[in-house]
A and B are shown apart, each in its own frame.
Chain A
Amino acid sequence: MSSPSRSPSSPPASPRPADVVRLPLVTDAALVAALRAGRPEAPTALFDRYGSWVRRVLLRILGPDPELADLLHDVFVAAYESIDRLEDPARLRQWLTSIAVFSARARIRRRQRSRLLVFPWADAEAEAVTGPADAEMGEAVRCVYAVLDRLPERDRTCFVLRFLMKMEIGEIAGLLEVSHATAKRRVAAARKRFDGLAARQAALRPWLEEGGEP
């Protein structure tokens, strides 16, 4: 990940010692080795390399979420703690992705539980943290989130991995620790459920008319 704070042309940021360390950790294997060896710059290097990606995974699955930063933090703390369990350092990215996916799934379940409760004073605030501002397209995107919010956690995860993140079925199977056939079946079921719910949304119907492949 390139960080604007380290760009020579960017305004001077508050000094942060680790920012100025240039790591010779070119490969993931080198980075994992540095983490396991306890090299002080390694945790920051891991975050700099994959923080943006992990955040994107969380964001894709969850949509805008006030806990996104906390989840991102948790994913990396979990990664630091369990780096010794990573069998193939070359698969560092997939491994972080799997932690992110499972963290996001847990978060979805928490959200679904809390949604059962009523927070009348918070209704208007939800608008502030979800959905874009522009009108027509924004409405469609908002409806997508609304439909996703109604999907069971497993369907939502499968749907997002396949249709928003464009992952192959094999990759999804690996992340969810299921067989290829199971992953394919779940993706198809998720898509069917999404389409069924989306068809009830006027703003989404035009987008479904041409159908599409799961």
Chain B
Amino acid sequence: MTSFDRLMQHVVAEQDARDERAELDRVRDRLREGRPAGRRRTRPRWQAPLVAAAVSAAAVTAVLGWRALAGDPLTFRVGESGAEGVVGQWIAARSTDVALRFSDGGEMTLLRGTRGRVVSLEARRAEVLVESGRLGARIVPGTGVRWRVVVGPFDIAVTGTRFEVYWAPDEDDFELVLHEGGVMIAGCAFGAGYPVRAGETVRASCAPHRFEVSRPPTDPSAAPAEPARAGPAPEGEPEAAEPPALAEPARAATARADGASAEGFEAECRRAGAARLIQLGDTARFGGRLDQARHAYLTLRRRFPQRPEAADAAFRLGRMEFDQRHAYAEAASWLAAYLRERPGGALAQEARGRLMEALHRAGDRDGARRAAGAYLASHPGGPHAKLAALLAQGEKPGE
């Protein structure tokens, strides 16, 4: 045996050292779920002409034929560059938020510090996994795509909706804020499935199995909301006194994530550095406390006007005004501020795209046309290019 042969043996041994059982079990389950045993042959063969036509004598054609029957699989693009995403590839939002834009119009954002991946994308089914951190999602309804977002041990089935989800595995802390639509959560405390309604915030833990549902306060200064619904403690967990934080999930999550109480938020902003202020603002924003988020970002801009984070704060203010307050004129101001301060910044492409759209939505047609021209000049192949082309020609895109 040559050295080369031994090297090949090592490669094989290394491959075989990987435990295959879990993977095989998972695929086996998927096959069973997606294809109930025996169903295919219960129909007469003439009822499956597409299948018969798609499979050829060659096995490769069979594979391709099967894929063709399913339709074109979804695709997605990642981040500001709009680079084509790779299914299965881990994506770590290390220093900034990372947006995933899907070909059906849906969008997900991995907030800074979040790690996840797109597990599978098919024509009618998509699965995204969040290992840890916070993910914001806007799923387009009516596309026929069944979305599944797996967050640690929790499994969220989605049709069309907008939500944010947070998972801290070390703290066994799950939170879902559902802005629109409805989702079904399964796993751990939720068992086979639990429906969540728009406006509800769900917090859960896996050990012990427990969850609680509440409507977050719209006014951050308001008293904590009454828990609307509470989940069972199926393993005999006593319905013991919940820590006060559980009555107000968003605030509690923020306090825990930040190491600061809600009451001390402003004091924390006074002490915090620029990066910390971004973190405080982000956490508040995704906890639904927009006033606190705004306070943190504005504090950053006032105290650290020369730091790059000041421009980032402007971008975040713009995005918050755009997405959450729908105050498009104000959003445009902030986005323009970002572009003035960091015209070549990492967020410039998205800022130009959003600025153009914000101006359009605010009714500023001339401004939108100019912004569209600037966008096309800077990012002719960018994700907003089609919209930019329409706006640059003075056309009104469909909403």
A67 with B87: CB separation less than 8 A = yes
A213, B94: Cα distance in complex, Å: 47
A80 with B35: CB separation less than 8 A = yes
**Of A60, A95, A207, most B-chain CB atoms within 10 Å:** A207
**Of B30, B31, B35, most A-chain CB atoms within 10 Å:** B31
Closest residue of chain A to B4 (Cβ to Cβ) is: A212
B62 with A68: CB separation less than 8 A = no
Contact of B11 among A72, A75, A103, A164 (CB under 8 A): A164
B41 with A36: CB separation less than 8 A = yes
Q: With A42-B37, A77-B31 as given contacts, are A55 and B20 in contact (CB-CB < 8 Å)?
A: yes
| Residue total for B at the interface (Cβ-Cβ under 8 A) | 66
A60 with B15: CB separation less than 8 A = yes
B interface secondary structure, majority: helix
B196 at the interface (CB under 8 A from A): no
B58 at the interface (CB under 8 A from A): yes
A59, B51: Cα distance in complex, Å: 28
A interface secondary structure, majority: helix
Q: Which of A43-51, A150-158, A179-187 contacts B (4 or more CB under 8 A)?
A: A43-51
A206 at the interface (CB under 8 A from B): yes
B327 at the interface (CB under 8 A from A): no
A44 with B21: CB separation less than 8 A = no
Q: With A38-B41, A66-B88 as given contacts, are A121 and B94 in contact (CB-CB < 8 Å)?
A: yes
| Residue total for A at the interface (Cβ-Cβ under 8 A) | 81
A209, B93: Cα distance in complex, Å: 44
A63 at the interface (CB under 8 A from B): yes
A44 with B32: CB separation less than 8 A = yes
A/B interface sample: 13 pairs, CB < 8 A: A38-B41, A38-B42, A48-B28, A60-B15, A82-B55, A117-B83, A121-B94, A122-B86, A122-B92, A125-B91, A141-B11, A164-B11, A210-B2
Which of B's residues lie within 8 Å of A, judged by CB? 2-8, 10-12, 14-18, 20-21, 23-32, 34-35, 37-42, 51, 54-60, 62-63, 65-67, 78-79, 81, 83-84, 86-94, 98, 115, 117, 120
